[in-house]
Each structure stands twice: as C-alpha cells, then as structure tokens.
Chains A and B, each alone.
Chain A
Amino acid sequence: MAKKVVIEVNNLTKYFPITKGFLRPKVVAEIKAVDGVTLAIHEGETVGLVGESGCGKTTLGKCILQLYRPTSGEVIFEGQDLTQLTDKELRPLRQKLQVIFQDPYDSLNPRFTALDIVGEPLRIHNLMQGKEYRDRVAELLNLVGLAPYMAERYPHEFSGGQRQRLGVARALALQPKFIMCDEPLSALDVSIQAQIINLLDDLQEKFGVAYLFISHDLSVVRHISDRVAVMYLGKIVEISNRDELYSGPLHPYTQALLSAVPIPDPEVETNRQVIVLKGEVPSPINPPSGCVFHPRCYRAFKDCETIVPLLADCADSHQVACLLYKSSYP
C-alpha cells in the first residue's frame, strides 16, 4: 500500500558561515549543520529523527519549515519547492505545515491567554471571528484534553504538560498535513511524557497528519515512529523501518546509541554490556575526512579514513551509510 509523499527533502544542506572582519566580512569557516540530507515523509506517517546534540536534526526540521533558509537543496510540498518561495508566498502553505516546540515554557507568549495562543493561527490567516472563533478554540482545547474554561488563563498558570498540550492544540488549529515535533517531550516529566505521546498518537489516527518526530530519546522514538532516521554530524547514517532498526541496527553508531540507553530493570542491566564510544562528537566546522564517524568507530578500518560512504539500500527499505556494507561504496 504505497502512500502518497507529503514532504520530500532532496540534498538539503545548511551551512552557517563564520565571518571575520568588520567592513568587508570574510567567510573563514562554515558550520556544516546539515550536510546533504535526502528524506521522504508520507501521509499519516511518523518519521523519527534521532541523533545527539550537534547532529543537525533540529536544524533540519527548521529548514524543512523554512524557519531557516537552506543553503542548497529542495523541499517539495504540494508540488512546490518551498526553498524557492518568498515568505509571502509561503504564507498560505504554512497553514498546512506546523510545529510543536521543545520548551513548553518558551514556545508560548507569556502575555497571551490560552485563547489567544491556540487561536493565533486562525487570526493570522483571518479565517474566523467572534463566536465561530471561540467555538473552534474550545473544540481544539477539548481535543487535547484541556477544559475550555481554561481559555482565559495565562501560560504561567498551566503546568508543563498542559502547556505542551496548548502547543499541540495550536499546531492542529489549521488542520495541517505535517507537524514537525521538535523534542516535544524533553522538558516534561516522565509520567507526563506518556500522556503527550498517547495524545500525539491519537491525533494522528484521527486526522491522518504526518509527523517528523525529532528526539534524542530512543525508547520514545521507537514507540511512536513508523520509520526512523539516525543522524550524525549533519548526515543521515541509517534509515529504516522502525522494527528493523531497533532489532537489527546496521551502522556502528546506531548500535552504540542503542546500547547506551539503560533499561529500567536492574536484572537486565547487570547482565548487559554497554558499547562505550571513545572521544567526543567532533566540531561541525571541521568534520573528519572520509566517514565522519570513523575516529570514534569501534569497527573502523583503513578505507573509512578516506572514502565518504553513501547512504544506500542494503536491504528492503533499510538504508545505511557505512563501508562495512558494499552498497555504500561510491
């Protein structure tokens, strides 16, 4: 059952220049935050994007939504390349592309009431007024499990989990086709995270919205995603169906990442060996030659220092960028 593609990302790069000089600034180096990412997200699907800080996952998400303008590459949505559109031209399309942010304390304007916050998309696009507007906001609040009488309250009167629900309600206001969820659970307590995950799941079932779920929490990503992509230093190193990735990770980084997650069970943990990677994530200004992961890789060999592996199919809908697999040789 082939699903339609909602968003297609082709060869996206985002480099942040570092300039020196005052009157005629010269570019001395570039932070290669996203370095050639190709990704397709289908209708009603959740693609999980995992990786550690500095890998570029948040930057990638923002580039898709044109909150950052990509340095090169395309983002195709509804037949148009978003990178070529001006802000004005993007405006109508933005109704269908929404965001849920990480920090529930920062993503809501502290001077807006809940009504203002959730209804803002409706106001910006001049879609509804008066009673119709208030009813729609009440409907959205109900949808995320908040009582409508709380519409008059300010963000500081809600708990973290409730604020995040407001963020979700706001993202749903215009019935988007795609929501980028940027670490939506990281700032929440453990018991609340489960509430929000269930909420996101239910809403996806109800409305068929696609998610790009960015997170560093591998257990959560496994729960909610259909496909998972692993990023390292601006590149996707492995992407696959969820079950395959977790049961049979191919890339050494993915293997290390999964092994680093402790299981909440002392018995299991006493018998488990952790792959401890050596060293630190290198700076994206000066990425290593060849395979960017090779200095820390416990399975690296000679070729890894010089040849850049390609992200290629090595099994059915399982792609990996690692020279351990023949398909990655250019």
Chain B
Amino acid sequence: MVAIPKTEVVAVRPHHTIWGDAVIRLRRNKLAMIGLAFIVFLSLIAIFAPLITPFSFSDQNYYEVLEGPSAKHWLGTDQLGRDTFARLIYGARTSLSVGIFTQFIVLCIGLPVGAISGYAGGKIDNALMRFVDVMYAFPDLLLVILLSSVFRGTYFGGSIYMIFLAIGLVAWVNIARLVRGQILSLKTRDFVSAARAMGGMGNYITWRHLLPNALGPVIVSITFNIPRAIFTEAALSYIGIGVKPPNPSWGAMINDGFSLIFAKPYMLIFPAIALALLMLSFTFLGDGLRDALDPKLRR
C-alpha cells in the first residue's frame, strides 16, 4: 500500500472569511461609509435626545410661537410654541424605529414564506405565490393606509406599534419573493445535492444550507426597505393617520410646515432635509452592501 502523499499549503493569502472580506470591501466604499456614519450619528442623537435638548417634543409655549432660529430655539418654534429642534431629534426616534422594527416583522413573515415556497415547490409554492401576487397588485401605500385606518379603531390606535404592523404586513411580500428566488436557484447547487445524498432532510437543508447563502441579497433588500418604510411613515403622518400627535414625526412636521411654506419656510425645510438625508444614507449603505456582498466582484 502506497502512502498517500500530502499536499502542502506552501504560502497562503491572508485568512478571510466571507463576511470579513465583505466588510473590507464595504469599508472601501466612501459613499457607503458616509451613509453609515450619518445613520450612526443620527441614532446617537436620537438615543441621547434628552441630554442634547432641554425641551421635550410636546412642551408648548404660547409666548414663543412661530419664532425663527435663535440662540434659545436653535431651529425656531412651531405654531404651538414647540421647539423645532427638539421635535426634529425626537422625530428621528420615530423614523429610525419605524425603519428598523418594521423589518423584523418583514423578516418574520417573509423569510419563512419565501423559504417554504421555494423549497417545497409545487402546489404550496403556487398557492403562496398567487397570494403574494394579489398583494403585489395593490399599491402598497394604499394598503398601508387601509390597515392603519383599521387599526386606529382598535387597541393600538395611533401608537407606533400600529405603524410597525401596518407597514410590516405589507412589505414582507418583497422579501418573500426574493428569498424564494434565491432558494430556487440554490436548490440546484451541488452542495445541496450533496447534503441530500448524505441524508439531510428538508428542514435541515433549508436552515443550514439554503438560508445562510440567501442572506446576501436579503440584507441588501432590507437595507433598501428601511428608507421606504421611513418614507411611508412620514407619508402617513403627513396625511394625518400616522402616529398620534403630539408624538413627533417628520412627516407631521412637514405637513405643519407646508401650510406656512411662504411665511416660515424653515419649518418645512429642516424636517424635509432630515428625511432626505436619512433615506439617502440608507440607500448609499445599501448600494455599498450590495457591491460588497456580490461574490462576482471579488478578485
């Protein structure tokens, strides 16, 4: 019997895991890093809001109504005497939490539906996807408005949890389709066949092989979903069926500011710019993540 000769690893490139490699590539993307920095910055401000401003978002002061930016009120006051700056940074809390927490709901529903649909195929897949198609047929904003109105009458009414649900229950379809597509293409890969040949069953294969490899595009999609959710919340508050006042929301502030657009333009401009910057940051980050996670761009 001949001894089986060993192969040596003569010299190796620096040890990269897949995620490590993606992080390196992400860090090189300046726009993505700026976006990330802004998000972190805004989050910190939102968390430490009470330490930054002495005012709350609901303190009304009828003596200081509709003032312009000053030393006391950095961004002025609104028509009820509330400090605009305070409302802005507390409003960031609303926007960020809507952005992020809706995605939990989206993942909780979208991932399993997409995974089951993709892996099972056949009639289950057909049924689930037709349901998804029907939901897709409705404009999402309309559906969200519908759900909000329904929820308003119930226990939640006007709280931020209602917004999470309303947006989450509509946005999951996107992820479901995406996950399903990923799983369909991963199903045919040899390493999945290998797992089946070893005796791996459906659940095991889905959780250990398919989903982890489908994560890349899912993460990117979630990152793009966040600004959409933020904007939807702003839109809801703008029309008046978002969070109940005096809870702060950039959308509500924009609505208030709109009526005063010629007199006090700053009331509209600040929340609008804040909203735009936050959405832009997530979009840059999403772009960066997509490029960083794309295996074809490694070389």
Contacts and interface: CB of A to CB of B under 8 A. Distances in A.
Interface of A: 62, 65, 67, 87-88, 90-92, 94-95, 97-99, 101-103, 106-111, 120-121, 124-125, 143-147, 150, 153-154, 156-157, 161-162, 165, 167, 170, 174, 195, 198-199, 202, 205-206
Nearest to A141: B6
B193 A99 contact: yes
Interface stretch (B51-59, B144-152, B197-205, B219-227): B197-205
B11 interface: no
A120 B205 CA distance: 11
B154 interface: no
Given A110-B213, A154-B18, A67 B193 contact: yes
A121 B199 CA distance: 8
B226 to A, nearest CB: 25
Interface of B: 1-2, 4-9, 12-13, 15-18, 189-191, 193-201, 204, 209, 212-213, 295
A174 B197 CA distance: 12
Contacts of A101: 190, 193-194
A170 B194 contact: yes
A261 B128 CA distance: 51
B6 A145 contact: yes
Contacts of B16: 154, 156-157
A124 B18 contact: no
19 contacts: A91-B201, A92-B199, A99-B197, A101-B194, A107-B194, A109-B191, A109-B213, A111-B213, A120-B198, A124-B198, A124-B204, A145-B5, A145-B7, A147-B8, A147-B9, A153-B15, A154-B17, A157-B12, A174-B198
A264 B40 CA distance: 64
Given A99-B197, A124-B200, A109 B1 contact: no
B4 A145 contact: yes
Contacts of A120: 195, 198, 200
A107 B191 contact: yes
A199 B5 CA distance: 9
A107 B197 CA distance: 12
A124 to B, nearest CB: 5
Residue among A95, A111, A174 with max Cβ neighbours from chain B (10 Å)? A111
Given A124-B199, A147-B6, A206-B1, A157 B204 contact: no
Nearest to A159: B7
A87 B195 CA distance: 13
B198 A98 contact: yes
B209 A94 contact: no
A106 B212 contact: no
Contact of A157 (B5, B15, B195): B15
Contacts of B17: 154
Contacts of B8: 147
Residue among B1, B4, B197 with max Cβ neighbours from chain A (10 Å)? B197
Nearest to A121: B198
A90 B191 CA distance: 19
B66 to A, nearest CB: 57
A214 B280 CA distance: 54
B199 A202 contact: no
A99 to B, nearest CB: 5
Given A107-B190, A124-B198, A124-B199, 18 more contacts: A90-B199, A91-B201, A94-B198, A95-B199, A99-B193, A101-B193, A103-B190, A120-B195, A124-B195, A145-B5, A147-B9, A153-B15, A154-B16, A154-B17, A167-B194, A170-B198, A198-B2, A199-B4
Kindly list the 4 A-B residue pairs having the minimum CB-CB distance in the complex, ordered from nearest: A107-B190, A94-B199, A91-B199, A106-B190
Residue among B4, B198, B200, B209 with max Cβ neighbours from chain A (10 Å)? B198
A256 B14 CA distance: 49
B200 to A, nearest CB: 5
Contacts of A153: 15
Given A97-B197, A98-B198, A110-B18, A157 B4 contact: no
Contacts of A91: 199, 201
Given A111-B18, A124-B204, A144 B197 contact: no
Residue among A102, A110, A120, A167 with max Cβ neighbours from chain B (10 Å)? A120
A202 B241 CA distance: 74
Contacts of B189: 106
Contacts of A109: 191, 195, 209, 213
B296 to A, nearest CB: 13
Contacts of B212: 111
B12 to A, nearest CB: 7
Contacts of B191: 106-109
A262 B135 CA distance: 60
Contacts of A65: 197
Contacts of A162: 7
A124 B1 CA distance: 32
A145 B9 CA distance: 11
Contacts of B12: 157
B1 A205 contact: yes
A283 B191 CA distance: 29
Nearest to A98: B197
